[in-house]
Structure 1
Amino acid sequence: MPRQLQPTTGSSSLASRSRPANYFDQTIDHFPHSPRYASHVKGTFQQRYFVETSYYKPGGPVFLYLAGEGPIDTDTHLDSSLITQFMKEFSGIGVVLENRFYGTSVPFNSSTTDELLYLATEQIIADFDVFARKAKLPGISNNINAPLTPWILYGGSYPGALSAFTIKTYPKTFYGAISSSGVIHGQLEYPQWYDPIQKLAPQDCVGSINDIVDKIDSLVQSNNQAAIHQLKDIFGLTALKDIRDFAQTIAFPIGGPFYYPTNTWQEINWNPRFGHQDFFEFCNNVTDINAAPNTTAVDRVLAKYTGGEAWKNLGSYAAYIKRAVLPLCASGDYDSPECFGTQHPAWWANTTSGAERSYLYSTCTEFGAYQAAPPHGQKSLLSRVVNSTYTQQWCNWAFPKGK
């Protein structure tokens, strides 16, 4: 369940016409008698949603799109997505509901560890149940609440898991649910996220990256600091002190998967109007047979560390990172937490509310799926220094154990 840190995200960013936001008075704690919630916060928060009724005819169903790990400001899914097709086909209503702790749907003014306890999956899916049974949608005079009217859930990736969990937990409320790529079980490391790319992406590009990654890891295993410094310099990233930050940064065009600032394989979309082709641009550059001589010359710079064997396409790979990724750091301070450096405990511990902190909490406490490379012996698209301990350190800094 990767998270792209941009205002819009390829496969989940469908441009929409302007529509007014609506708000539902949602309970903060649905389980006031559960021992899990020691503080048992009382009260409500305003849960934001968008609704589309243009295709509705009395008796039609309601399609509830679960927005998941981001605000719904530019992401309504009600104009040109699969939900639109459902609304047209079945004369239904479309609703996009913002997850608690995202966008403006925040129960508290901050996101301390104790407050984020109310981001638990059971609280989230209880929101969906209450909303479906009690929300009064604007412009609709008749009773369209569940279960009298069929409500169908739809979500993909993390929201796909929420969709599956909700229909399992509240089968008497919801008529059905669609779970697209639902991550329905937790696991600590999730190298399988890269499997589709390894198998289906252009194989000349994949093979080049696999070979470069193997060579990078040989330098790391040899602990040749001079060689590693030279490698970072080729990519313009000598400022990154931690080799894992370097490995993650040069893997951004492929995908984090925890977070990444560029469009990747995941942003390829069945609808070319909303998808992004950046991944293929990346691969075309990596394997450019017409690369300039000064670019291809870089392929031999590190050959002395690999038995004289050239690093095929290293120059083209590095040139792309310099051109497409490094400019995303406006300050030029690549090791800063605002750019590509992650080794900043105070930055992770900041309790200001935000999508990144909320998503990290769910990752650290319930879902796992930490970004990780496949182990040695398997082909990998990013250096194997990126493993579960990398993300776990962020979790420890962000949500320290109580004293």
Structure 2
Amino acid sequence: MVTAEGEALQDAQRTHNPACYLEMSTCVHARTVVPGGQAINLWRLGMAGEEHGSTLTTRATDATFPQYNFTQPLDHFSNTGFTFSQRYWVSDRYYTPGGPVIILDSGESSGTERLPYLDTGIVDILANATGGLGIVLEHRYYGASVPVANFTTDSLRWLNIEQALADSANFMANVKFPGINEDLTAPRTPWIYYGGSYAGSRSAHMRVLYPELVYGAIASSGVTYATILDWQYYDIIRQFGPTDCIHQIQTTVYEVDELLSDAKSHTPIKALFGLANLTHDQDFVSLLAGPLGDWQDKNWDPAVNSDDFANFCTALGSPNDTSVEIAKGISVNAATINYAIYVNQTFSRRCPSGSTADDCFGTFDPTQYQATDLSQTWRLWQFQVCTQFGFFFTAPPDPNQPRVISKLLTLDYAKMICEFAYPPGQHFTVPALPNITAVNSIGGLNIAADRLAIVDGQEDPWRPNTPHSDIAKKRLDTPLRPFKLISGAVHHYDENGLSNRTAEPPVIQEIHSQEVQFVQAWLSDFKQSKSGL
């Protein structure tokens, strides 16, 4: 909590800017992207979900779809003798004999979170247009498709892209759908593979690595380019966020960094944010980066959209030269005051009574990451980050590059969670740095194949990790190799839809129509090749 003096200053600032009154419920979103181990702290406080970035909330659906299980080997490349049940769901509402299978990869979440896409989203759209069978396939280790008894380092060693891709291939080649007498396995039947975000990279990887099984694929916001330093995530927000809001963020970030470097102002600036007793400055500034992660939770559908980033910007107010003294001889801009009020209401006050700031927001104690029971679902995607994907959120390596997060957010801080959370096991050791070559060798920014569609959002903070990155080679958009950039879109905007398609925004209707058109064209080619024409 802030000091009495700090509260008085906040009261004065509320008078100056009424937009600073924020109800707690409007400040906290279900899923928050935060640098380093801070994300685990927020997860424990009930403020963050289990996903890294695939944070799209799904529209509620009253439709029900039958759930089935498919038996997978624990290890596709070595016989351990162990198997597990992988969940999947089926929609046959449009299926006609001879139709394709439209499969949606659920990625790093429970498959149940993806069921609305069977009802009104991309699977429903494509199945309706093609007479196809709709499928949602749950990823190993996520949801109820858990093959191990705990989440220790050793038990997680089968959680990698190679095993997970082999799961999908095995499923496609051998599944027998209950109630359907036809053989719908690949390659006998054309399968169209769809995924968004991490699952989008899997979609692209499946098309490249298993072309005989995956007839066509759509990679939406597919993060096919793994990186160690992922400073560009926040830079997209800097480029596309509201001008006044970004100005206020930068004013605060640069001012906080300067005040933290001075012994006289070090404690007062942290106290203003209600975090005077948070020991490590990196933990403090990582928490300040928390509201920026709400950018990727924006969506065109009001039922799915989060207003958290907009509320954050409103709370920061408009740029002005007002200065407020927070301690004798120490003054800050009004932007910093507003930012501090928001952080107090959104994060600091969530720390339970009797807990210290370090208990709630500290990340430097290795003992706090040692629980490995199956309830510790945060360990899953974090393990994939630490072993193969990287995506460590840091400040730009170039000190002259404009930024919206603190310069104290370094690689050493971001990857510290990997060493703390995953001590060497008897059978597996997490590498010092993720083996991003395992991802990038499949194609990275230049991944391409016939009947592989790349669909991205112009304002997606993950776009630098997709083939639409500014540093990727330019390519043409063709029916055989669609390359679509959705104007004004953030994260996999094409994945969700409405039952009344005409109620969707024009840009969403357009991308859905284009996806239907090129998938139908692909399937026409399949029929011709099958008939020998």
Contact 1:14–1:75 (Cα < 8 Å) also in 2: no
Displacement of 1:199 in angstroms is: 1.0
1:397 correspondence with 2:413? no
- Partners of 1:302 and 1:175 lie apart in 2 by 65
- Judged with a 3 Å threshold, the aligned counterparts in structure 2 of structure 1 residues 88 and 232 are, in CA distance, closer, same or farther, namely same
- Partners of 1:225 and 1:105 lie apart in 2 by 51
Letter in 2 for 1:346: T
Out of 88, 97, 121, the residue aligned to residue 58 of structure 1 is: 97
Instruction: Provide the aligned C-alpha RMSD in A.
Output: 2.6
Out of 81, 105, 110, the residue aligned to residue 42 of structure 1 is: 81
Contact 2:105–2:193 (Cα < 8 Å) also in 1: yes
- Partners of 2:249 and 2:176 lie apart in 1 by 53
Contact 2:234–2:405 (Cα < 8 Å) also in 1: no
TM-score by length of 2: 0.66
- Partners of 1:331 and 1:85 lie apart in 2 by 49
- Judged with a 3 Å threshold, the aligned counterparts in structure 2 of structure 1 residues 289 and 350 are, in CA distance, closer, same or farther, namely same
Out of 365, 369, 382, the residue aligned to residue 391 of structure 2 is: 369
Letter in 1 for 2:302: P
2:369 matched residue in structure 1 = 348
- Partners of 1:332 and 1:81 lie apart in 2 by 45
Letter in 2 for 1:342: T
Displacement of 1:361 in angstroms is: 0.9
Contact 1:25–1:46 (Cα < 8 Å) also in 2: yes
Letter in 1 for 2:411: S
- Partners of 1:42 and 1:128 lie apart in 2 by 19
TM-score by length of 1: 0.86
- Partners of 2:384 and 2:414 lie apart in 1 by 13
Contact 1:10–1:268 (Cα < 8 Å) also in 2: no
What secondary structure sits across from 1:78 in the alignment?
Answer: helix
1:27 correspondence with 2:79? no
Contact 1:101–1:355 (Cα < 8 Å) also in 2: no
2:194 matched residue in structure 1 = 154
- Judged with a 3 Å threshold, the aligned counterparts in structure 2 of structure 1 residues 150 and 277 are, in CA distance, closer, same or farther, namely same
- Partners of 1:206 and 1:174 lie apart in 2 by 43
What secondary structure sits across from 2:143 in the alignment?
Answer: coil
Displacement of 1:171 in angstroms is: 0.5
Letter in 2 for 1:130: N
Out of 246, 254, 278, the residue aligned to residue 308 of structure 2 is: 278
Structure 2, unaligned runs of 5 or more: 1-31, 34-38, 427-533
Out of 210, 215, 221, the residue aligned to residue 175 of structure 1 is: 215
Structure 1, unaligned runs of 5 or more: 33-39, 256-263, 291-295
2:342 matched residue in structure 1 = 320
Contact 2:103–2:194 (Cα < 8 Å) also in 1: yes
User: Where does 1:48-87 land on structure 2 (aligned, <5 Å)?
Assistant: 48-76=87-115, 77-87=117-127
Letter in 1 for 2:49: Q
2:204 matched residue in structure 1 = 164
Contact 2:259–2:269 (Cα < 8 Å) also in 1: no
- Judged with a 3 Å threshold, the aligned counterparts in structure 2 of structure 1 residues 312 and 22 are, in CA distance, closer, same or farther, namely same
Out of 275, 286, 306, the residue aligned to residue 237 of structure 1 is: 275
- Partners of 1:113 and 1:46 lie apart in 2 by 21
1:116 matched residue in structure 2 = 156
- Partners of 1:328 and 1:137 lie apart in 2 by 47
Displacement of 1:352 in angstroms is: 2.0
What secondary structure sits across from 1:117 in the alignment?
Answer: coil
2:508 matched residue in structure 1 = none
2:401 matched residue in structure 1 = 378
1:198 correspondence with 2:238? yes
1:214 correspondence with 2:254? yes
1:36 matched residue in structure 2 = none
Out of 162, 176, 179, the residue aligned to residue 136 of structure 1 is: 176
1:250 matched residue in structure 2 = 288
Contact 2:91–2:118 (Cα < 8 Å) also in 1: yes
- Judged with a 3 Å threshold, the aligned counterparts in structure 2 of structure 1 residues 226 and 100 are, in CA distance, closer, same or farther, namely farther
Letter in 2 for 1:384: K
The superposition leaves residues 15-44 of structure 1 with CA deviations (integer Å, 9 ceiling, x where unpaired) of 233444321111110001xxxxxxx53221
Contact 1:244–1:390 (Cα < 8 Å) also in 2: yes
Contact 1:69–1:355 (Cα < 8 Å) also in 2: no
- Judged with a 3 Å threshold, the aligned counterparts in structure 2 of structure 1 residues 132 and 215 are, in CA distance, closer, same or farther, namely same
- Partners of 1:233 and 1:393 lie apart in 2 by 25
Out of 309, 316, 326, the residue aligned to residue 301 of structure 1 is: 326
Identical pairs, percent: 35
Letter in 2 for 1:200: F
What secondary structure sits across from 2:71 in the alignment?
Answer: strand
- Judged with a 3 Å threshold, the aligned counterparts in structure 2 of structure 1 residues 225 and 352 are, in CA distance, closer, same or farther, namely farther
What secondary structure sits across from 1:74 in the alignment?
Answer: helix
- Partners of 2:170 and 2:191 lie apart in 1 by 12
Letter in 2 for 1:199: Q
Contact 1:370–1:391 (Cα < 8 Å) also in 2: yes
Letter in 1 for 2:406: S
- Partners of 2:372 and 2:410 lie apart in 1 by 25
Contact 1:15–1:75 (Cα < 8 Å) also in 2: no
- Partners of 1:50 and 1:342 lie apart in 2 by 38
- Partners of 2:327 and 2:132 lie apart in 1 by 61
What secondary structure sits across from 1:113 in the alignment?
Answer: coil
1:15 correspondence with 2:60? yes
What secondary structure sits across from 1:153 in the alignment?
Answer: strand
Displacement of 1:336 in angstroms is: 5.4
1:103 matched residue in structure 2 = 143
Contact 2:272–2:326 (Cα < 8 Å) also in 1: no
